Structure 1
Amino acid sequence: MFQLAAGLIGFYVIGRYVWPLKLGVIAKVILSAAVLVVAEHQWLVSQIAGSMASPESPRWLIIGFGAAYGALILLACFLALKDLLGGLLYLASRSAGVRVLAGRRLPHFMAVLALSLGAWGTSQAVRVPEVRKLELPVAGLAPEFDGYRIVHLTDLHISRLFHGPWVDAVVDKANMLNPDLILISGDLVDGTPEIRQNDYPPLGRLSAENGVYAVTGNHEYYAAFSQWIEVFRGLGVTVLENEHALIQVGEGSLVIAGVPDQIGPRHGQIGPDVEKALAGRPGGVPVILMDHRPGGAGNNQAQGVDVQLSGHTHGGHIRGLDLLVARFNAGFVSGLYEVGGMHLYVSNGAGLWPGFPQRIGRPSEITEITLRRSS
């Protein structure tokens, strides 16, 4: 379905921009073929090296395809808006509608703008994320946890694109915050441990007084799931699979719970069960839940969760397109939400899927969350 949609976008751009160009037929055919290669590059690369989830082509090629693909998507959106406007004008004035629909100057401007934004969006996607800070009031929080600082990481997508030096820089930034706790809400890696053996080791340097905890995202299941769980645990990361841990500071306590991604059963693994994850927790102690996808927030709140930390959406990648991403995630895409009294924080993520490395108006982030006692 994904490749079909990408192909249709490619043919739309060919029909509405490439073919009307004042070029010879051979030039149009070559340019059309290039558009289709860009549209289907994820599938084409997967046939040569790696997979759709983890392309193993050189980093410069992933960046180049990412910029071109982003430009293609943006140009298709611009052309669609032009055609919609032209169609509406046509209903009021045939001549005005035809001028918009058939005009060539505006599409050329759109193409230049799309190429520029595509290159810029990729540069924003691959940079080391900035720190985003917020304070969360939590009901029932013990005095000892007032001012408690959590670094939330998600969607690292360690890969050919987000390789060892990038991971090293992210770990350094997280550690410089000197957090009390580090929580990672899924999609840490793409590919196998063998392929990523030079990229993931910096995760072992993550340091927090009360430890490092994580849950799995959907990408952990696409290759060597069981091996990755052992790798994470070997690096000192506690992976919570429908489990919780009790963090104690002085006389105060805090429950940290985690559920695996919902794609687990398709790969012969367990699925999320928040009731099981919270079974046996002490009463009256606030609960922070890691759930990779934000869509289950309503159910999680009903189970007694006070704060949910999620990722998965990458913030929607691009302002405007994030509205579409939100529709597939129960309306949640980026930032802080209130769900029946529960705080849901959806991080834009530190990295993203290498198949669409675009960020425009949705910057990557390392999130520092400071807990406060609720009044």
Structure 2
Amino acid sequence: MRCLRWGMSTTFQASRLASLRVFYSCSIHSIPCLPPPTHSMVFYIVFHIYLTVAYLYVLWRFVLPLPVARSWRALLALLLLAVSKYHLILIAVYGTMFSPEMPHVAVLLAGWLFCAFVLILVFTLLTDLACGVLALWRRVAIKRVFGWRLRSAIAMAALLLSAVGVYQAAQLPEVRRIDVTIEHLPRSLDGLRVVQLTDLHISRLFQKEWVEGVVSRTNALNADAVLISGDLIDGTVEARKDDVAPLGKLAAPLGVIAIPGNHEYYFDADRWIPEFQRLGMRVLVNEHVILQKGADQLVVAGVTDEAAPAFGHEGPNLLRALAGAPLNAPVILLKHRPSGAPDSAAAGVGLQLSGHTHGGMIKGLDLVVRSANQGFVSGSYDIGNMRLYVSNGAGLWNGFPIRLGVPAEITEITLRSGPAL
């Protein structure tokens, strides 16, 4: 397809092509990813080592000092052990911890208890740190400060906050509206509206009725296009077929465009991608589409997830995704993880839409999640001439189903024409 001319300088076109070539010749093919089954084994071992250490800490600092009969402490210790090993139990019973096929109520109950355990861990650790400082400053014995009343308060607060957080996580996402200025966006495309959906994680937690609600709210926005940036599901095609069916009702004049996230690869992307296509989505696998409005064009590119090579698929490759795209057309990139955004900016992308982080799920925890995602966790970031938007996601993984101060979202994005950022 021949490039349209909007009076842009040949310098801009040449620099974008050059930056693509230089960047990808240096880095894109060096994404570290362990091959299966080593990848899964290492992940599970590290994950459960962390949880074992967490359990032993809570046992030592929270349970054993309780002034109750030994039998009650033993019972509480066993209960916390079971809760801390919730995901290991799921693997033993269901063969996976990512999408246990158990009743919706059971998912909520187990999620409530596990999230409460994590909050007890955090509150106990923070209390120990505070008591340590107080003991050094005022020479007050830690036992006098961290007594049974404080432990009881911690337990009650954790159970209550966990209940509130799980309830909030299970609700329909609200619509969040933002404007994004894209360099070289034609004036005729100023005001174009797209909806970003990401991290639906359709599962036994987020079932058909919830999906219908998300689709209804999305369609009510009457956007020009719907862009889905990965992690639509948790589970196999057979288990989720009825739950994902409402996605077939998503509608937009310029189409519904999606990419796979890491969870699609966990559950056989070779089967899920054709299923999404059957539901009317254009699934981008290191490729692009051109959205045409009148004489003007907008490129929407999509890349695979970093998890793809571990499952025999090609990793994210923006050079391949943009091959053949008109050099003078602005580019929106769908990339599940926000990591690598500076590289996208260097490659000439105008707007990158990502998810994966769930916004950190809990205020304060977002600091940890940010550190694991190159500093990106939620909202807008300006990187050179590119805008990165990281959505909190519509849903989240059922293994840690909590939201406290980080609401789920359906994102309506209005594109604006303007100069470089």
Q: Same fold (TM over 0.5)?
A: yes
1:17 matched to 2:62? The reply is yes
Q: Which of 154, 170, 180 pairs up with 1:136? A: 180
Between the two proteins, the alignment pairs up a number of residues equal to: 374
State the alpha-carbon separation in 1 of the partners of residues 240 and 115 from structure 2. 26
Report the alpha carbon displacement of residue 96 of structure 1 after superposing the two structures with TM.
5.1
Structure 2 counterpart of 1:321, one-letter code: L
State the alpha-carbon separation in 2 of the partners of residues 40 and 207 from structure 1. 42
State the alpha-carbon separation in 2 of the partners of residues 62 and 8 from structure 1. 24
Report the alpha carbon displacement of residue 91 of structure 1 after superposing the two structures with TM.
2.2
Structure 2 counterpart of 1:370, one-letter code: T
1:206 is matched with which residue? 250
1:195 is matched with which residue? 239
Whether contact under 8 Å (1:143, 1:252) holds in the other structure is no
1:270 matched to 2:314? The reply is yes
State the alpha-carbon separation in 1 of the partners of residues 140 and 170 from structure 2. 45
Structure 2 counterpart of 1:118, one-letter code: S
Report the alpha carbon displacement of residue 40 of structure 1 after superposing the two structures with TM.
1.2
1:41 matched to 2:86? The reply is yes
Whether contact under 8 Å (1:91, 1:97) holds in the other structure is no
Report the alpha carbon displacement of residue 7 of structure 1 after superposing the two structures with TM.
2.0
Give the alignment's TM-score, normalised by structure 2: 0.87
Give the secondary structure class of the aligned counterpart of 2:94.
coil
Q: Which of 291, 297, 317 pairs up with 1:247? A: 291
Q: Which runs of 5+ in 2 are unaligned?
A: 1-45
Report the alpha carbon displacement of residue 97 of structure 1 after superposing the two structures with TM.
4.4
State the alpha-carbon separation in 2 of the partners of residues 123 and 194 from structure 1. 27
State the alpha-carbon separation in 1 of the partners of residues 397 and 47 from structure 2. 14
Mapping for residues 348-359 of structure 1, pairs under 5 Å: 348-359=392-403
- Structure 1 runs, 4 residues or longer, greater than 3 Å off: none
1:53 is matched with which residue? 98
State the alpha-carbon separation in 2 of the partners of residues 319 and 13 from structure 1. 22
State the alpha-carbon separation in 1 of the partners of residues 143 and 169 from structure 2. 38
1:72 matched to 2:117? The reply is yes
State the alpha-carbon separation in 2 of the partners of residues 163 and 6 from structure 1. 28
Q: Which of 136, 142, 156 pairs up with 1:91? A: 136
1:30 matched to 2:75? The reply is yes
Structure 1 counterpart of 2:274, one-letter code: E
Give the alignment's TM-score, normalised by structure 1: 0.97
Structure 1 counterpart of 2:328, one-letter code: G
Q: Which of 82, 89, 98 pairs up with 2:127? A: 82
Whether contact under 8 Å (2:67, 2:148) holds in the other structure is no
Q: Which of 358, 370, 373 pairs up with 1:314? A: 358
Q: Which of 183, 198, 213 pairs up with 1:169? A: 213
Report the alpha carbon displacement of residue 83 of structure 1 after superposing the two structures with TM.
0.5
> What is the RMSD of the two structures over their aligned residues, measured on CA atoms?
1.2
Report the alpha carbon displacement of residue 99 of structure 1 after superposing the two structures with TM.
2.8
CA-to-aligned-CA distance 1:250-295 (integer Å, 9 cap, x gap): 1211000000001101000110001111122112211000000001
Structure 1 counterpart of 2:102, one-letter code: S
1:284 is matched with which residue? 328
Q: Which runs of 5+ in 1 are unaligned?
A: none
State the alpha-carbon separation in 2 of the partners of residues 159 and 50 from structure 1. 15
